[in-house]
Structure 1
């Protein structure tokens, strides 16, 4: 695990590689640098091997590899931070252990699934209730309870979108109960659906990369589109 890396040791493990720069070194060679990640943390890397640099140059986003190299102190960093000098980079095989590359949140997933179901049941307006039941079903539901809520910034782990959305709903309901004249059904529906487009924007694959659709449209636009599509399927009126 990256958190256990110490200067002077050789390492070999599955890591997520994020390339930040590829360029030419002062001696006429080439280099690539960036970050290596696993569930325990992150560490900088540098690579001078021309063949590996070419491989890294072709990456379109965060990619998992079986990595081998030496841990050293980055003498060009004022903080004298550790870095890995990569000497080997191989594609993962089916038998490779990659459990250290899929972050899991410290929360009870089943309990949050129950909270989600209870919030939907609490909605009494027929149209909104049907809308929620339609969206939170089938493949969409499975992706919703599995996807992260972000690549790195917040809830960046499996099930993060479920936890984030349910917690936001809890806060929204608590506020709605303190204000007169608030449509609590609309509050619940809006809170549960506010990030639903992230199931199309961010992949639950290793590294949680953005999808092409996500980069082009963003989750806000896609959330609106998903709600509109479900409403049209149910032939719900545009206003209540």
Structure 2
């Protein structure tokens, strides 16, 4: 059976192919021909080329226990357009054969080799001998380094793809470079860059990125990446003779406070200039990636408005749709 990739699907296509399931839910509805409420199944399907919504209208309750989120399923149905492309599914079953997880995981659109070169350049730009030693110990670690290069930055919201952690961390570091240049009298640049590169290091233990839906690990659920990251950094600091206590404290504070608010998951709010700057750089990278995703995933030529995004709590208006389509086509061509 030949794989049909999501990026190639168009209205009217008959589908029979394998996809990964990242979300599924039974939704109540009332049919015009019946007074009794019914349920349909809403699915979020993906492969390495993109994602698409799926709907099961008949027998949704009966098939709901046949597969779970994170499974690979064999889908048959037809592609329709309802506020964007979706597959109206006529048959679905869990696929029990061997699969390559990479076929069902999205990947950073950026060149990872170039990103690795940028990472190495940033590490070597740090002049503080203790901070540079810390970064080198972490990125020379045979377990940490490959995981950092390949891990996603999140499960769903931002940079949620292979290589997303590296992409996000470099974005944060670039923003921090500009902040440090503008506030050089009150910001220690090397400390801020170190925090930018390490703030999410705990995510390499928080997510299982061999799973197609980047499921959270047990330790990720129980501890979380902020505490995991601080523990990982503290472990490496213990290997460095006479590492300054004030730097250890500053880095630890940046890692645990980078979510910015206690209600957003940080045990403490940012209380140093570097931690405050890191929080805003991290948030900006995440939000812009979310917004860019709305634009890249917008495929309706009849409107310049994207569908509503519950995380950003808005639709996005795309002023120059022709230019956007060219960007999307260029990205698709680069993946081929």
- State TM-score, norm by structure 1: 0.81
Whole-Å Cα distance in 2 between the matches of residues 111 and 72 of structure 1?
37
- Please give the root-mean-square deviation of Cα atoms over the aligned residues, in Å: 3.0
- State TM-score, norm by structure 2: 0.60
Whole-Å Cα distance in 2 between the matches of residues 104 and 18 of structure 1?
15
Contact 2:52 2:86 survives alignment (8 Å): no
In the alignment, what sits opposite 1:40? 50
From 23, 44, 54, the equivalent of 2:65 is: 54
Change (3 A) 1:178 1:167: same
In the alignment, what sits opposite 1:220? 226
Whole-Å Cα distance in 1 between the matches of residues 84 and 165 of structure 2?
36
**Displacement after TM superposition at 1:226 (Å):** 1.4
Change (3 A) 1:28 1:163: closer
**Displacement after TM superposition at 1:30 (Å):** 8.3
In the alignment, what sits opposite 2:119? 116
Whole-Å Cα distance in 2 between the matches of residues 100 and 80 of structure 1?
23
Q: Give the number of aligned pairs.
A: 232
**Displacement after TM superposition at 1:133 (Å):** 1.0
Matches within 5 A, 1:96-115: 96=99, 99-115=102-118
Contact 1:2 1:43 survives alignment (8 Å): no
Q: Deviations over 1:115-168 (max 9, x none)?
A: 111111122222211111111121100000011112222222221111111121
SS of 2:66's equivalent?
Answer: helix
Aligned: 1:68 with 2:75: yes
Q: Deviations over 1:171-229 (max 9, x none)?
A: 21122122233211101111111111111122222222222222222222222121122
Contact 2:206 2:225 survives alignment (8 Å): yes
Contact 1:10 1:68 survives alignment (8 Å): no
**Structure 1: gaps (5+ residues):** none
Aligned: 1:198 with 2:209: no
Higher RCO structure, 1 or 2 (CA under 8 Å, sep 6+) = 1
**Displacement after TM superposition at 1:4 (Å):** 4.3
Higher mean C-alpha displacement, 98-107 vs 21-30: 21-30
Contact 2:80 2:87 survives alignment (8 Å): yes
Change (3 A) 1:150 1:41: same
